[in-house]
């Protein structure tokens, strides 16, 4: 019994191919859409998922300004950041952040669902979020999700 038929095969840089997907965020709930995007960025939708290798695909999100939140989250959800200076904690409500920078809402939600290490940062680089319906990635021939 020199060769084992049940040996686990892991994905690596030589055997891996990446695909491109497009997501239209119009009237989609932020959290539910973000979990789908994070799953694709991690590569968990594939049979060849490898936890220690970035086997995920690229994701393009369009119409980020038309995202949907449930309940009273437009007025109650608070995004916090810290400038690095004493007393530099800044807060902004979701409604105001959507007017000012709608891309940040989608990016923040997806980033929070990815691993907090070097691998997670590499996965996050494959996310492209745009406010409008156009994107510059037509050469990659993305598939609709």
pLDDT of the residue at 4: 72
pLDDT of the residue at 1: 54
pLDDT of the residue at 22: 97
pLDDT of the residue at 13: 87
| Topology (CATH level 3) of domain 20-47+54-144 | Ribosomal Protein L13p; Chain: A; (3.90.1180)
pLDDT of the residue at 129: 98
d(CA 40, CA 27): 20
Mean pLDDT, consecutive 10-residue stretches, the chain (145 aa), reads 74 90 97 97 92 94 96 96 96 97 96 97 97 95 93
pLDDT of the residue at 3: 74
Contact 107, 97 (CB under 8 A): no
User: How many CA atoms, within 13 angstroms, populate the side-chain half-sphere of residue 63?
Assistant: 13
Distant-in-sequence, close-in-space partners of 126: CB < 8 Å, separation ≥ 6: 18, 41, 56, 57, 58, 59
């Amino acid at each position: 019994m020199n060769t084992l038929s049940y040996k686990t095969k892991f994905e690596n840089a030589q055997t891996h191919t990446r695909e491109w997907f497009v997501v239209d965020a119009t009237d989609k709930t932020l959290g539910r859409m973000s979990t789908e995007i994070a799953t694709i960025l991690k590569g968990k939708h594939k049979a060849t998922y490898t936890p220690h290798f970035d086997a995920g695909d690229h994701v393009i999100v369009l119409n980020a300004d038309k995202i949907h939140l449930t309940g009273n989250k437009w007025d109650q959800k608070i995004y916090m950041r810290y400038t690095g200076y004493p007393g530099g904690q800044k807060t902004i409500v979701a409604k105001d952040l959507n007017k000012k920078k709608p891309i940040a809402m989608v990016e923040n939600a997806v980033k929070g669902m990815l691993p907090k290490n070097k691998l997670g940062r590499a996965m996050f680089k494959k996310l492209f979020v745009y406010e409008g319906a156009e994107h510059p990635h037509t050469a990659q021939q993305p598939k609709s999700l």
